[in-house]
Chains A and B, each alone.
Chain A
Amino acid sequence: MQPQEQFAQAYDQHADAIFRHCYLRVYDRELAKDLMQETFMKAWKYYSEGEGEKIENPKALLYKIATNLIIDHSRRPGSKRTDSLEDLAEAGFEPGEDRSDKLKDELDAKDALKVLAYIKEDYREVLILRYFSDLSLKQTAEALGISENLVSVRLNRALQELRKHLRIYERSK
C-alpha cells in the first residue's frame, strides 16, 4: 500500500479518537478539530521528511504529536484553560450528541466533562490516553515522554480523583 493510502487509512481509524483526545483537553470543538487536523499533517511531514523512516508505532506517534500541539496551544499568550465549572459554563461547549434519553442514573456528556475538568491536568492526560484513547501503558508513556512507572503512579492518583469527584457529583444531584 502506498504511504498516502496508509495515512488516509490511519485518518479513518484514528481521526475521531484524536479529536476526542484533543477535545477532552481543550473543551473547544473547533479548536479540537484544528488540533486533530494539524496532528495528521505533522505526522505526514515527519514521515515525508525522512525522520520517520520506519514508524514503529503510528498510534503513539499521533498521540504524541497531538499532546505536544495541545501543550503548545496552552502556552500561547491568551489561551485559556477551562479547568473550573465556571469556565466550562462560560465556554458553552457542546459535546456533539443529544443524550437526553439517558437513564436517570447515567451521566450525560456535559456532566462527565465537568467531572473530568476537576481532575488535575497531569492526571487527566494519562487517564484520557490510557482509558479513553485505549493506549497501552507503554504507548501512553511514549506519547507523554515519561516513564511507564510515572504513568502508573499518575493513573492511580487520577482514578482516586475521579472516584472522589464522581461521589461529589452524585451527592449534589
Chain B
Amino acid sequence: MKEVNKLKHALSGIHLSKKEKAEGRHAFIKFMKKNSLPKEAGSGFFSSFYLRMRRPVLASAMAFGLLIASTGGVAYASESSLPGDFLYSFKVDVVEEVQGALRFTPERKAEWDAERMQRRFKEAEQLKDQGKLNSESKSKIKEEIEKHKQSFEGHMEDLTNKGKAERADEMEIEFEPLVEQQERLQEEWKPKLEPTELNIESIDPVIEPKILPQ
C-alpha cells in the first residue's frame, strides 16, 4: 500500500482554489434556488406530504401547481413559452442565461449555444404549426439565433486561444448544419416581391433603353 500512499501524497495538491470553490458554491446555491423544492415554495406540511407520497403522478401534478405559484415556478412555466408569450423574455434572457452561466468551459458554453439555437428552430416550427408565426416572432427568433451563433463563435475563439484548435474545428463542423438551417430559415422568411409590385415608371431612365423595347 505504500505505492498508493506515495501517489496520494503526490496528488494531494490537486484541489479547487478558494476562489473557484466559492464561485462554484455560489452558482450551486443559485441553481438550487431556481430549481427549488415545493417545500421552499410554501408550507412545511406540503414538503413532508410530498416527500412521503407514494403516487408520483399525483405528486408531480401537485408539485407543478405549487411550482407555478412560486418564484421558481415562473422559470419552470416559462420553459414552454414561445415568442410573443408573456414569459418568453424571462425564458431566454434570464433562465437560459443562468443555465449558460453554470457552464465554465468554452466547450460547454458553445454546446449550450448550439442547444439554444436548436430550441429557437423548434419554437419557429411550433409557431408555424399553430399558425402564429408573424413578422414580429420571426424577427425575434432571427435575432436570438444570430445572438447564439455569435456567442458560439466567440467560444470557439476562446477554445482556440486555449490551445484546443483541433477541438474547435471539430465543433465548428458539428455546428455547420445549424448554420445551414439558419440560412434556410432566412431565405424562407425573406420578404418576396410580387411582380405586380414593380413600378415600371420607377426604373432608372439611364438603363431604361437597355431593358425596355423601343
CB within 8 Å of B: which residues of A? Answer: 2-4, 7-8, 11-12, 15-16, 19-20, 23-24, 30-31, 33-34, 36-37, 40-41, 44-45, 47-48, 50, 53, 77-78, 80, 92, 95-97, 99, 106-109, 111-113, 115-116, 127, 131-132, 159, 162-163, 166
The DSSP consensus for interface residues of chain B is: helix
Contact B51 A50 (CB under 8 A): yes
CB within 8 Å of A: which residues of B? Answer: 3-4, 6-11, 13-17, 20-21, 24-25, 27-29, 31-33, 35-37, 39-40, 50-53, 56, 59-60, 63, 102-105, 107-108, 163, 167, 170-171, 174
Contact A78 B24 (CB under 8 A): no
Q: Which residue on A lies nearest to B109, using beta carbons?
A: A34
Q: 6 tightest A-B contacts by CB?
A: A97-B13, A112-B10, A107-B10, A78-B170, A30-B105, A16-B15
Given contacts A33-B104, A97-B14, A109-B11, whether A41 and B31 have CB atoms under 8 Å apart is: yes
Q: How far is the CB of B73 from chain A (nearest CB, A)?
A: 13
What is the CA–CA distance of A44 and B30 in the complex, to the nearest angstrom? 12
| Residues of A contacting B17 in the complex (Cβ-Cβ under 8 angstroms) | 96
Contact B171 A78 (CB under 8 A): yes
What is the CA–CA distance of A16 and B107 in the complex, to the nearest angstrom? 22
What is the CA–CA distance of A37 and B22 in the complex, to the nearest angstrom? 12
